Structure 1
């Protein structure tokens, strides 16, 4: 069901609006500098709309996994660099409220109360408080005291049912009768996905890559009921080949991946299409490559789809009405093994179909190739994208009233 959006929050002049964003961006491991600001830029439409409405905006996000970090690593996980980059994009300072590691407390409360209409501030890394991942009513109450309205604009974490800021916090707003809505980013994600699931332009083509069949088994099974064809690539290719009894050389394929692929073999050659050739490389010398069309010789491992496969997949893309792509088709971070993923990305960027890129590494790939702007939609949530297509219900969205 459609959810309430920013326009349903009422008069926001002089109000404080708490906005859950997904600023879990990649950082330089030495300096902590933001390496890719795609998720920060994705939040700008919601921020600008709230500024125009006369609200003061308090953003909140997690960043990395401080609970598993060393003290030195944790030091780099403050929101300071994120706030700096956001301030550059907005053209105004964005303070981190309260200072230090505290997410809530008297200093944060005082700084939040002092915010003026149009100002934007950022809370400290939510996961610096261990209660964030425990759906804590106490932590939710402390956060809720900072604002008059709540906005969920963090699609990438919508499937995290244990996050206080995603579930217990909007529930606290709901119990208090305070308005709640989804932001522009989540609104766009849900519109695109709902159209994909209910009224796609056909033929509907899915492209699936990445490493593990087991992680995406539910997603694949959900897609098989909807798509006309499902094209396989990436390391999961070799799980299918091994399940067929073929040699994959030195390609490491876990037993559970083979077992996950086995029940899908009945669809191979019909809805599921496998690569017909693949680039392999020696494990001890990646410059030593060999193009294979059958079994992979011992000592070599699969690293990319081959040119015949790229040509066959591109032909399917050109005749499709809708294409949804999740997972790179090779080791695209290495230039020598990026041709398959690049070829598919170019085909999506230049075809006439509605093209949906399913977040995560796939989004990183199309950005690396500078093709993201040519896609119909690039999702900001890899795991959330998979879960939504599978049909899982998000507790975070259940806290936002339907229209």
Structure 2
């Protein structure tokens, strides 16, 4: 996908650049403090590039779901704490715009920006027009800057977001340049490479909860990989679809129906765990390793030790590894072994290792292996959708080279 990048924006001295970032970071529910700054750190190379080129930056992002939040929860969804963390990581003062996303105060703050200055707008979703691709909202945002950069891969699939689609479309009409940032360019380069000429053998690792949510992604992987390893809660969907008793593990009928067409690949391209850790539903301290049926009153919570060793061996033998979805209930230390050891094996691999965003990226970082991967995507849903071959309207708005 040959889209214009930062180097195609021309002379930026004295220009104000609107940068759509993905600062939708996890926050402490009580204090509103940023709990994980990975997405902010990922945007820094683009911001620094623009500032070094003599531009000023007007950054914008959504944060959480204020449309569904209580008044108290909404207070924690302002960008104040994010702006503070952004400035700390950037080592440049960041001005937080007024409480309104657009309006006279914001226009004045943007106009006052000097080269090298950074302004962060208020949470875009505080304005209900953000999720309606509203032309008036797009025009108000567009009036603030001279160019547009999309560096928010995690929201590229959101075709109804004004800041992702309507805003760059408005700038096109005004003849103002539009480009992708360094982060988005890297995401597209890595994923395009995975889907065209990956180094072989290619190994896919799929975890998480729902087969139905990832059926298109799984089918896409099956056409590209040499082997696909299954873990996470979807393990028990496959087992139940095969007629194996999974104890108290909850598996919906729709999940079983989604898994049935894939059963023909089990034992061929698809490998299921040979053992798994099960915990008693009413007492998680009671656990046992199962091979075959899970006893009544127990539910599957992690892949077992034999499976871990088998999966590690598969990783070591592969030249390209694509991982999406935790292998167990990794948020609970007792059930994190499968996810942790798979992350460790990937970090030690000599091959190309790609982590597919979302919870998987959080796990890789939590265990200290994110920096040792070839690439950790900042987009969970966007990663899945792009691999599946979906066309993003947000990227269609960016100027072609």
Shared fold (TM-score, shorter chain, > 0.5) = yes
What is the match of residue 70 of structure 1? 70
Question: Pairwise mapping of residues 351-366 of structure 1 onto structure 2 (< 5 A)?
Answer: 351-366=349-364
What is the match of residue 229 of structure 1? 227
Q: How many angstroms does 1:379 deviate by?
A: 0.2
Question: Pairwise mapping of residues 363-378 of structure 1 onto structure 2 (< 5 A)?
Answer: 363-378=361-376
Question: Pairwise mapping of residues 110-149 of structure 1 onto structure 2 (< 5 A)?
Answer: 110-149=108-147
TM-score by length of 1: 0.99
Deviation by residue 1:212-246 (Cα, 9 ceiling, x = unmatched): 00000000011111110000000000000000011
Q: How many angstroms does 1:92 deviate by?
A: 2.5
Match of 1:189 among 180, 187, 190: 187
What is the match of residue 171 of structure 2? 173
Q: C-alpha distance in 2, partners of 1:352/1:93?
A: 40
Q: How many angstroms does 1:104 deviate by?
A: 0.3
What is the match of residue 239 of structure 2? 241
What is the match of residue 11 of structure 2? 11
Q: C-alpha distance in 2, partners of 1:174/1:245?
A: 56
Secondary structure, aligned partner of 1:127: helix
Q: C-alpha distance in 1, partners of 2:40/2:91?
A: 14
What is the match of residue 24 of structure 2? 24
Q: C-alpha distance in 1, partners of 2:46/2:93?
A: 17
Q: C-alpha distance in 1, partners of 2:296/2:307?
A: 22
Is this contact kept in 1: 2:203–2:318, CA < 8 A? yes
Q: How many angstroms does 1:177 deviate by?
A: 1.0
What is the match of residue 332 of structure 1? 330
Q: Does 1:46 align with 2:79?
A: no
Secondary structure, aligned partner of 1:391: coil
Q: How many angstroms does 1:175 deviate by?
A: 1.2
Q: C-alpha distance in 2, partners of 1:297/1:28?
A: 37
Q: C-alpha distance in 1, partners of 2:305/2:90?
A: 44
Secondary structure, aligned partner of 2:334: helix
Deviation by residue 1:92-118 (Cα, 9 ceiling, x = unmatched): 221111x22x10001100110000000
Secondary structure, aligned partner of 2:164: coil
Q: C-alpha distance in 1, partners of 2:337/2:87?
A: 37
- Give structure 2 stretches of 5+ with no counterpart: none
Q: C-alpha distance in 1, partners of 2:220/2:90?
A: 40
Is this contact kept in 1: 2:177–2:399, CA < 8 A? no
What is the match of residue 311 of structure 1? 309
TM-score by length of 2: 0.99
Question: Pairwise mapping of residues 254-403 of structure 1 onto structure 2 (< 5 A)?
Answer: 254-403=252-401
Q: C-alpha distance in 2, partners of 1:191/1:91?
A: 29
Q: C-alpha distance in 2, partners of 1:267/1:173?
A: 48
**Deviant stretches of 4+, over 2 Å:** none
Q: How many angstroms does 1:57 deviate by?
A: 0.2
Q: C-alpha distance in 1, partners of 2:282/2:317?
A: 40
Q: How many angstroms does 1:257 deviate by?
A: 0.5
What is the match of residue 55 of structure 2? 55
Q: C-alpha distance in 2, partners of 1:401/1:95?
A: 29
Q: C-alpha distance in 2, partners of 1:19/1:340?
A: 38
Q: C-alpha distance in 1, partners of 2:11/2:235?
A: 53
Q: C-alpha distance in 2, partners of 1:89/1:58?
A: 16
Q: C-alpha distance in 2, partners of 1:2/1:308?
A: 45
Q: How many angstroms does 1:366 deviate by?
A: 0.7
Q: C-alpha distance in 1, partners of 2:57/2:114?
A: 9
Is this contact kept in 1: 2:236–2:249, CA < 8 A? yes
Secondary structure, aligned partner of 1:25: coil
Instruction: Tell me the matched-pair count.
Output: 401
Q: Does 1:82 align with 2:82?
A: yes
What is the match of residue 91 of structure 1? 91
* RMSD between aligned residues: 0.6
Q: C-alpha distance in 1, partners of 2:400/2:315?
A: 36
